[in-house]
Structure formats: structure tokens, C-alpha cells
Structure 1
Amino acid sequence: MGTYDYIVVGAGSAGAVVAGRLSEDPGTTVLLVEAGGKGRDLNVKIPAAFAKQFKTGLDWEYYTEPEPHLDGRRIYHPRGKMLGGCSAQNAMIYIRGNRADYDAWAAGGATGWGYDDLLPLFKRAERNSRGGDALHGGEGPLFIEDPRSPHEVSERLVDAMVEIGLPRNPDFNGPTQEGAGLYQLTQRRGQRWTTSDGYLRPARKRANLTVLTGALVTRVVLEGDRAVGVELEQGGSRVVHRAGREVVLSAGAFGTPHLLMLSGIGPADHLREHGVGVVVDNPNVGAHLMDHPMYLLNAETTAARTLAEAESPRELVAYLTRRRGLLTSNVGEAGGFFHTTDGLAGPDMQFLAGPAYFWDHGFATHDKPAIAVGCSLVGPRSRGRVRLAGSDPSTKPSVRFDYFAEPADMTAMVTAVERARELLATSAMRGLVGSELHPGAAHTTRAELEAQIRAGVEHTYHPSCTARIGSESDGVVDPTLRVHGVQGLRVADASVFPTITRGNTHAPSVVVGEKAADLLRSGVVAGGRAGQVA
């Protein structure tokens, strides 16, 4: 048993930030607990190799329950299991989201979470290769860079998006999000840059930060209505570590509600079904799950040196000696944000496109070079849930997304697939595009496209909102990230999003970590100070 001021559970996009920032105070002791390892694998460092992590020891490897609107398919969902979490496994795309996302959070009761409130934190986190300005930071721990070796196909894909009506946009995190351009990436000189690299590596020299890897937290230890520590399993035995001030859950949109429910915080009837004693009855724990479903069009191409050649000796040498070439690619190099219908507060669709065949999370192969254009629904309405599948902490939770439960989501996705087909038929892509592989040229009507989407849609790896900011009647945490009904327990990860942001969720998760660290360091909670029962 050890005693620390703060215990942070999960070293991912937000948790590493929280622990790193808290440890900046030499008078504070911090324990960071991570179930995975150190994440030093080459497939973590090499950008184009991210899909090679899937279904390995670096991956939590979740599967959903049969999805009722996807022909009963069970959907595979990877999550990074290592220091850096999903920042060590994602496609490195740096998108903050839309101003409308955050302003809607604030208008809905998430005081202090509006865009203008969070912009200084985005800037504080960011070390942008273009330098600092009114909207960007140039000195933060998170390296943000332009693509190291962008492919000609990606440049032409951007031209094609402009040709079908998207404005050219060199900065999706600038004054406006809508438009087409190449993505900025969380890389440093062609190599992946994680929150572990930016926030933990320098902090590991501090005597007041302890990092445990290979340690599975089994529950939050509660005394009455106060969190006083965590129980964890490591090396076949269980031990309790105590927190003198607060426990922070940063285990992600699946792991955080799972731990809350294992600890007796969640829907009372559901907890009792699994023999878990009820401490706080809150049906919102694990509810409101949101993600960005994505359908990928694939077409053969005549382009030379696609990512099918990324592992050639030539490209290996280029990467190892100069950090250049195909292996620096994030696969989805080109992107765009647009509306599929009028009257929306922000874009509801995102293109992610690049010089590669990508299907079934990268497990499927094709014998000819190809281009992929992903259609990611960033303005979804459908919501799912996370529930216990058993009271054993090693049993993964039951997850169901209910993609397309709301018919408007399918209408938007079919429209996006039609727009993607227009993109591939532009003069900018002339001479590059061959046979359409997915959905296939034979499928032309909207009904046929809908059937193909249900049969083949996956997602953009962005689960969120399962412990969202809200009131005690509709949320899990208050705007200070304090869990309703429990003292000394907060949540800091994508699960606290009131609604999902428009775009990739890594950057918003980092800012949740930055915000949480500020709240903890200020010591202010609803009704009292950190470390005191209100």
C-alpha cells in the first residue's frame, strides 16, 4: 500500500496530461496507473504502422454486442493499451473540433467549457511547427506538424474536394473548420508524438511522480461517499493505494464507466443484477455513448508509390535515416469538413482520404494499389451505451453503439458516399482512379448504398460521452469534473464530453486533461476544497 496526493487511472490522451501537469508542483505526490506497457514498440513510433498494433498486446481489443442497425454485426473497436493510450495508436490527426461544439456545451450547463474558455488551454498544449499566433501555441509539450512527406495523391484529393465545392482550408483549427486541406499531425520530425512523449517523459525525472505499468485497476475504494484510493491487480496480487486528495479516472469512454460501475456508481438495478453493491444510483453512467461511424470508399489507382510499398527497403531506409517517405504517412493525409444538409451549426461530415487501400481496420488486403476516401459522420445523433458484462474486473464491458438508430444519420452517410464518388470523378483525379472496390459501381441507388453501408460501415475510433458533464439528472460529472454523489473522485477523458466534437477526439481529450489539472491545482470543487468533504 502506498499513499499519494493524487491517483490518476489511465495514461492516455488525457491521463498522461493530468499526471504530468500535477507533478509540476514538487510539493504534490502523484501516482499514475496504466494497465498496459511502456509503448516503445516500433509500430507505435512509425506513423504508417498504427494499424499493425490492432489485436496485439498494445490493444484492449473491444467488440460490441450485435449492432441492431448493422445487420447484427459485432464491431471491433481498438483502444491503446500503453503509456500514451490512444495517442500512441491513432492516426495522429490534430483536430480541435468546431467552436459550435464547445459553445453548445457551455450553453447546456457546462460552465467554463465554451470555446473561448478552452482556447488558452489548446494553445498551452500545442507546439505548432507553424509557430504561435492568436489561435495556436508554439511552446507547448504537444508537437503539431504538417505532413513530413505528403503524397501527390493526397494533394490531388484536396484539389478534388475543392472541385466539388469545398473551400480550400490550410488550417482546420483556424478561423473556420469547413473546407479541404492536408491534416496537421501529432508528429515530431516524421515520428509519432504521444502524450507520454510530451507530458510524461520530462516528468519521469521528478521524484514526486510514480508511474505503474502493467497494473489493472479493479475498483475505486470508497469510504462512505468519499473516494480514498484504488485497488489494483499487478503480478497476480491485489493491492490498495490511497489518495489523500483525489482519484482521477482517465480510463476512456469504455474503461471509465466500467470502473465506476464496478465501484458501485451507476444504474442501480443493473449493478444489482451483477451483484455489485450500489453506492450512487446514476443511470447516466455508461449511457449517451457517441462515436463517428465511418464508411470507406476504396478504388484502384494507377498512382505510383502508394502505401502498398511503404515497407519496401527503399522506404525503410528513407524513414530510418531521414524520417521521410511513405512510413511517415498517417494514411488519411487529406481531409475535408462539409455539410450534408442545410441548417446545421457546423459541418456534420468529414473526409479522411489517402493513397492506400483501407478496409476492415487495415486487416483486409488488395492485390493492386488503391485510394481510400473515408466518410466520417461527425455530427451523429444516435447514441449507445456501455454496461457491465460481469462483476469480474477482467471481463470487458458490454458495448453497443446503435449506429444509425436515428434515420437522419443514415441519410447523411449516403449523401456523403455520393459526394465521395463525385470527388473521385473530378478532373483533379482524372487518370488516377480505376475500378471502385467499395461500395462497388453496381450499387447506384440510395437504397443500395444504404445496404452496403450497413454491411461495411465501421467507425473513426472516437468513443465518448459515457460519463458526461451534466446535472445529476442527465450527467455523471459536474463542470468541475467531480462525480455526482462522490467526494474526491473526478473524471478526465473523452467520456466527459457532453456531446461528441466534430472531428478527431485526441486534441479535445488533451484539453480535458489540461482543464482537469487546472481544476485540481486550484483546489476548488462544488461545496468545498479538494481533499475536504463538502
Structure 2
Amino acid sequence: MQSQDLDSLTADYVIVGGGSAGCVLANRLSEGGRHQVILLEAGGEADSFLVRMPAGMSRLIGNPRFDWQYPSEPDASISGRQFIWSGGRLLGGSSSINGQVYIRGSRADYDHWAASGCPGWSFDECLPYFRRAEDFAGPAHPAHGKGGPLCVSFQRDPHPLSEVFVQACSSEGLPSLADYCGGDQHGAFLSLATQRDGQRCGTAQGYLAAARERPNLRVFTGCLARRVLFAGRRAVGVEVLRDGRLLRVNARSEVVVSAGTVGSPALLMRSGVGPAEHLRELGIPVVADLAGVGANLQEHVGVGINKRVSVPTYNSQMGPLDVMRHLGNYLLRKRGPMVTPAVQAMACAKSRAGLDEPDLQLHFLPLSYDMAPDVRCAALAEMTREPTVMIQANVCHPFSRGNVRLRSREPDVLPQVSHQLLGDERDLRTLVDACKLIERLFAAEPLSRYVQADRTPSPRPTDDAGWAQFVRNNANVCYHPVGTCRMGSDSAAVLDPRLSVRGLHGLRVVDASVMPRLLSANTNAAAIMIGERGSDFLLADARKMAA
């Protein structure tokens, strides 16, 4: 659509951000034709071959065409290193560039939300929304749904060592789980994937593609939201930049911010909603003094150990002929390395005895890469050429926190991400224990039969101090940021448990930023569930208003 098509547009709902949750909202709010819906996305379409092909994610993350590439401040807790905090900048958001692992988190994760001031968000209350979203490709199962927009399937062609990893976990006392989506993740398992017929199924493909045919849904790409507009304390629209023009999109009912864990608090702050002192420093008029906007940033901090193995892995099959063979296999049969997620097997484990729930998430990859000190994005790290595998561990519920702040009131200046990934000593100790657990897994049968030599670290540390230094030098982000617009019942929460911004009207946030505590899992499935729940809140309030 041309820029002039946006002049003086009005809808019942204006959604800012066509990502994992935003596409869900666009679909659900436009069902039935009763409500007029406008979806604004800063990026472009999700129709690239690299988006559709599962292995294309390695060329999407870190690519400015598809990735916001939010810059971080130097992190003193990890030897002053910096990272790009990735977020999908296209329809489907991070569901269009992620590794397609489908995992929800544990029962305890959601029950903790409910117990800490978010009634209605327990696991049993969230489960119907996971099921509603899902079109499970496996046999009927009480934890899974059929007929939903999001296809969840078994891996088509996992590497043989992925199953060997699960068996090694069993040797170390971790049970093998046939299914891990019912709330119990303590054990090891092959991961499910958000794929349909060997191709990515993110929310752009699953939720938005068919919904775009509805006349009451309009989708605009290339629209950079500058600020939410208010009449008093009610949100009434959004000001956007498109093709160099400043345009206004009006909302009769509500504005819904779904711009992600970094983008959503930044938009709120540019709109005058956030820490008053910070806003005044930038000359932004204060609409609502909410100190929690941009605070409570949480991320899974992880570290990986690599070993040389005696069988071919994806690293050793990167020559031109290998790539052509794998690409042909994908194009003709939707099989081979091009169709498999990088993380093919996982485990949730306890770093020490006596814990009530797992505090470590383990990822098995039939490949490895080197996180050199100057590498700011794992997808841009150099892959090794010899046969190697990696087991990476991350802290399920990190104690360390960070924040998002504005560098400028202008939307084309990316916000500042500040985080001390190992700022809390407890997280460092947990990863030291994780490294020792990973070494035990590599030494366990039957995985030990394939391990030939140490690679990273080499030589292997001999004490906790050595492991701690290894962790500081090699820790990285896992692309699971949450929490910067957290919901809750306390006065410091940004949102109430129905995702409305406190003290304001007609404004909600619906994305991963609302999570009060990080899950013991990848976050995309939960972000989609939040989109489903948020749509129900909005539609229920609309029915009340109409009654």
C-alpha cells in the first residue's frame, strides 16, 4: 500500500508490531468480521526463501533486513563483552527468524506467575490457550491441540547423535520424556518444531496468511511507530513514520503494543509512559510515571562446551558439494540438515540435589561454533570445520536483571540495552555446576563412544575458579528476553493481569515483555499463548461495552 493509504485511518483496534503475539491478535480480533483491525509492522514481509527454509535462520539473525539488532552496553560481568540483542523485524517477528523449537515451560513456571500476583495465569489456566493455538502433527494427546493455526511437528530428519544425547542423559539419571508439553520438563527429549511439511510455521504463516484475506483486517509494513497518542489518559491512536512521512492511525477501542521485550517499553517511553525522570531528560512530556517500564529485563545466560566426535556432523559437511546436496534434498524431499532445527534435543536438569525444580536447560546441537570475544551474535560466529557437537546450558530462572532505556525520543534511534548477565553470583555458580554436568554427560554411555577429544574448552579447567573464568569469557545470550512491561497486582507492575497499562485506558501490551519471571524454556510458544489470551481479554471487554 502507498503512504497516502494510511492518512487518517481509523480502526477499532490498532496493533503495533506484527510479531509472534501481534499476528495472533490480528487473526483473533478480526475473526467474525465484527471489529476493524489495523496491524502496523516496522519491517517487511515474511516471504523470503530464507524464512521458509528452517536452516535459513542462520542467515536471518544478525541480518539488518530481518533483525532489529538492538545494541547492548558493555557487560562487566562477562569480561566487558557486548551482544546484539536480536528481535525479528518482519511479519511474524521472532517466530520468523528463530530456531523453531517448540517448548512451553513447566507447570511451576506459570503457577509462580499466578502466585506472585497474576491470577488467571496458572499452568492449568494457560493450557487451553496453548492447545487452541496448536495443530499438533502427532497422535491425539491431552496436552496438545488439533486444528489450530500453529503447526507443531516432530523433527523430520534429526542427527543420529541427538537420540544418543537423550540416552546419555538417562545414564546420568535424567528420565527420557516421550512428551514434555504437559507441564513436566524434568528429563531429556527430542524437541518438537514449529514446522509444517518441512517448512517454518511461524505466526506470519500460521495466523496471518489466511486472515489477511478478511476485509476488516488491514496490514501495513514499513511503519515505524513513533508514539502512542493520548486524549487525557486514554490512548486514541498511533503516530507512525512511513516512507519519510509522519502519519496518524486512530483507534476507536484500544491500542495494543506488541513490539517485543525491547521495542514495547521503548515505544511506551517515547509516548510519555515510563520513568518520569528518564523521560524528562529526553524532553518527553510525561503521561504516566511508571518506573517499571523498561525494568526487570531478564535473559537466559548460557555457555556451551564443544567436543570433537567420530561421526560426521553439520560442521564437517559445509563444503560447496555438501551444501548443494543438502539443498537439493531439501528442495526435492524436505529432508536433511536444511529442515532440522539447530537444537535437536534438550533436557531440563537440576544442577545440584535438593532443588524443587530444574534450574538448567540443556541444548544439544550436532554442530558447534566459536564465540570469540569480538563476536556479538551467535549466528555470526564461525562454525568449526571438523566434526563437533555442542551441549549448551542456560540458567532457567536467572537472578541477574537489566533494563531498556531510550537513547533518543526519535524512533529510528535504537534503544539502549543494559544487562549484567552474570551480575548475580548465583547465576555464575549455577553455570559452573552446569559445565561439570555437561562433562559428565559427554563421558556417559553411549555418547562417550563418539567423543574423541576436547575442543572448547581445551585444556579443560581443573577447578571451580577455572570453570568460572571459562563461563565469564564464553557466556552468551540465548535470545529469550522478557519482563520489561511486567504484569502483576502490585503498584510497581506496568500492567494489570489483563495486560492493560496501569492508570491508563485503551492501552495494552501483549508480548513476551509482560512475563513477570522468565520461563525455564524458550519463550516463543509462551509469547503466542500470551497473544491468544490477550485477544480473549480484548474481545471480552468489547462484549461488555456492547451489552
8 Å Cα contact 1:131-1:138 kept in structure 2: no
- For the pair 1:490 / 2:508, whether they are aligned, the reply is yes
Structure 1 residue aligned with 2:43, among 36, 42, 48?
A: 36
What secondary structure is seen at the aligned counterpart in 2 of 1:146?
coil
- Rate the CA distance shift 1:131–1:243 in 2: closer, same or farther, 3 A: farther
Tell me the distance in 2 between the aligned counterparts of 1:394 and 1:530.
37
Deviation at 1:305, TM superposition (A): 4.7
- Once the two structures are superposed, what CA deviation does each residue of 1:143-201 show, in whole Å capped at 9, x if it has no partner? 00111001111111111111122111121213521101100010112211111111101
What is the deviation of 1:308? Answer: 4.2
For residue 253 of structure 1, the aligned residue among 257, 261, 270 is: 261
For residue 536 of structure 2, what is the aligned residue in structure 1?
518
| Contact 1:520-1:530 within 8 A present in 2 as well | no
User: In the TM superposition, what is the alpha-carbon distance from 1:230 to its structure 2 partner?
Assistant: 0.4
Confirm or deny: 8 A CA contact 2:315 2:384 kept in the other structure: no
The offset of 1:372, in angstroms, is 1.0
- 1:469 counterpart = 2:487: yes
Q: Which residue of 1 aligns with 2:347?
A: 336
Distance 1:118 1:394 in 2: 36
Equivalent pairs, count:
529
Aligned to 1:170: 178
Q: How does 1:279-428 map to 2 (within 5 A)?
A: 279-309=287-317, 312-360=323-371, 361-362=378-379, 363-428=381-446
Give the counterpart letter for 1:54 in structure 2.
I
Aligned to 2:237: 229
Contact 1:337 1:348 in 2 (8 A): yes
Distance 1:7 1:144, change over 3 A: same
Contact kept in structure 2, 1:307 and 1:326, CA below 8 Å:
no
1:367 and 1:455 map into 2 onto residues whose CA distance is 22
The residue matched to 1:523 in structure 2 has which SS? helix
Match of 1:127 among 127, 130, 135: 135
Q: Secondary structure at the match of 2:369?
A: coil
Cα distance, 1:136 vs. partner? Answer: 1.1
The answer to whether residue 435 in structure 2 is matched with residue 435 in structure 1 is no
CA distance in 1, matches of 2:185, 2:391: 19
Query: What residue is the counterpart of 1:241 in the other structure?
Result: 249
SS in 2 for 1:233: strand
Among the aligned pairs, what percent are the same residue?
A: 39
Query: How far apart, in 1, do the equivalents of 2:517 and 2:67 lie?
Result: 25
* In 1, Cα distance between equivalents of 2:427 and 2:313: 36
Aligned to 1:153: 161
What SS does structure 2 have at the residue aligned with 1:376? strand
Look up the match of 1:67.
Answer: 75
1:25 and 2:43 matched: no
Separation in structure 2 between the aligned mates of residue 325 and residue 307 of structure 1, nearest angstrom: 14
Give the residue type in structure 1 aligned to 2:148. Answer: G
Aligned equivalents of 2:369 and 2:163: distance in 1? 18
Say what the alpha-carbon RMSD is for the aligned residues: 1.6
TM-score using structure 2 length: 0.94
Q: 1:214 aligns with which of 206, 222, 226?
A: 222
Separation in 1, partners of 2:304, 2:414: 28
Q: SS where residue 3 of structure 1 aligns?
A: strand
CA distance in 2, matches of 1:12, 1:437: 38
| Aligned position for 1:277 | 285
Distance 2:40 2:466 in 1: 48
How many Å separate the matches in 2 of 1:472 and 1:110?
A: 10
**What SS does the corresponding residue of 1:23 show, helix, strand or coil?**
helix
Write the distance in 2 (CA, Å) between the matches of 1:296 and 1:374.
4
TM-score, normalised on structure 1?
A: 0.96
Q: What SS does the aligned partner of 2:193 have?
A: coil
Q: What CA distance in whole angstroms lies between the structure 2 residues aligned with 1:505 and 1:531?
A: 35
CA–CA separation in structure 2 for the residues paired with 1:108 and 1:459: 26
Partner of 2:57: 50
Q: Which residue of 1 aligns with 2:4?
A: none
Q: For residue 340 of structure 1, what is the amino acid of its counterpart?
A: S
Residue number among 90, 96, 99 corresponding to 1:88 in the alignment: 96
What's the counterpart of residue 138 of structure 1?
146
* Aligned mates of 2:194, 2:526 — CA distance in 1: 13
**Structure 2: distance between partners of 1:386 and 1:206:** 36
| Kept in 2: contact 1:488–1:530 (CA 8 A) | no
Unpaired stretches in structure 1, ≥5 consecutive residues = none
Give 1:378 deviation, angstroms.
1.2
C-alpha distance in 2, partners of 1:392/1:323? 44
Matched residues in 2 for 1:125 and 1:46: separation?
22
Q: Distance in 1 between matches of 2:297 and 2:337?
A: 35
Please say if residues 152 and 195 of structure 2, whose CA atoms lie closer than 8 Å, have aligned partners that are also in contact. yes
How do 1:196-211 residues align onto structure 2 when only pairs under 5 Å count? 196-211=204-219
Output the amino acid matched with 2:186: E
Q: Whole-Å Cα distance in 1 between the matches of residues 182 and 54 of structure 2?
A: 24
Distance 1:74 1:531 in 2: 50
Letter in 1 for 2:402: G
The range that moved more, 124-133 or 505-514, is 124-133
Kept in 2: contact 1:14–1:509 (CA 8 A) = yes
| SS state at 2:382 partner | coil
The residue type paired with residue 362 of structure 2 is F
Q: Name 2:374's counterpart in structure 1.
A: none
Q: Is the 8 A contact 1:286 1:386 kept in 2?
A: yes
Q: Does 1:111 align with 2:119?
A: yes
Q: Which residues of structure 2 form unaligned runs of 5+?
A: 1-7, 372-377
Q: CA deviation at 1:50?
A: 0.8
Residues 1:330 and 1:373: Cα distance change in structure 2 (over 3 Å)? same
> Counterpart of 1:499 in structure 2: which amino acid?
R
Contact 1:347/1:379 (<8 A) preserved: no
Q: CA deviation at 1:108?
A: 1.5
Q: Mark the CA change 1:478 to 1:463 in structure 2 (over 3 Å): closer, same or farther.
A: same
Work out whether 1:455 is the aligned partner of 2:455.
no
Does the aligned pair in 1 maintain the 2:239–2:249 contact within 8 Å? Answer: yes
